[in-house]
Amino acid sequence: MEFKRFGRTGLKVSVACLGCGGSSALGRFVGKSEEYSINLVKKALDLGVNFFDTANVYGTEKIVGKAIKNMNRDQIVISTKHQIATKDMKYSYKDIINGMENSLKELNTDYIDIFHLHGVAPQDFDHAITIVPQLLKEKEKGKFRFLGITESAPIDPKQLTISKGINSNYFDVIMLAFSIMNQNAKKEILPKTISKNIATMSMFVVRSLFSVKGRLQQDIFRLVKDKQLPEWFLDKKEPLEYVLKDSGAKNIIDACYRYVRHQQGIDTVLFGTGNVDHLKKNIESILAPELSKESVSKINLYFSHLKGVGLDFPERK
């Protein structure tokens, strides 16, 4: 495993971060037992992963807590989250602090390394900021070490929330969407995080766009129709065949992880799975060398202008 200094937090994190939500939630959403999910986390630990991202709404905090029960706590980095608002309500600072207390209980830990305001929509950002002073009081009590913020990518393709979060100087960590076909952050966000030494967690690296059969072809067709991609993309049996030719990648999923992993300004790559074999393959991809320079140039040429591609919420059975 490779490790990085995590921005100004000073934490040492694995470049591969196991995401405990998504379409699988460690297998919880696809019918796997709690024991299976716990063993999945333990397998990630065996493979060198020390960074785990969960949230109160995922239902996996207790699983992570049980998996790390006998580990040295200072060797594990835990990120968890609480929503600021839903469609029907806004959470008060008391609601969020109560949620934090419950997360500590579920994780069976004395402190959370990174506590995020979760999926903050642009219209809720001002409300989120009003809660920060109260959260910082909880930080002083030792309940968490660093404050983070995550965007709601499907409803914020321009990444307005993350941009505001960076400018506020409250947040030590941000979680943002970034992929081969969603590179907006490269110009708008990452130069700022690098300058301010803010740690980054990249999500939506694969998701449905690249993992659901036929989905990529559908999006390629739409993008060609909208004149955002050249028509020859429709002539290929596999839509990214030409772009990834001689890239060094084993397949499109492998290419997705490798491209993001080696992007300047990306500290750690989130990956989710409910399958042990996929766990191993995903980690291998994240640890693999950068794609060929020629292939990276083609990816940037054809996809760097795209916005909002592949940012749908995870599909769950």
Find the radius of gyration of the CA atoms of the chain: 19
> Is 58 labeled as catalytic in the residue annotation?
yes
Residue type, 189: I
Q: Are strands 112-120 and 16-19 parallel, antiparallel or unpaired?
A: unpaired
Catalytic one of 36, 58, 91, 170:
58
Yes or no: say if 42 and 50 are a contact pair by the CB < 8 Å rule.
Answer: no
Whole-angstrom distance, CA of residue 113 vs CA of residue 101 = 14
Q: Name the residue among 25, 108, 28 with its Cα closest to residue 66.
A: 108
Give the SS3 label for residue 7: helix
Whole-angstrom distance, CA of residue 256 vs CA of residue 179 = 7
Yes or no: say if 12 and 4 are a contact pair by the CB < 8 Å rule.
Answer: yes
Cα atoms in the 13 Å half-sphere on the side-chain side of 161: 28
| Residue numbers annotated as active site | 58
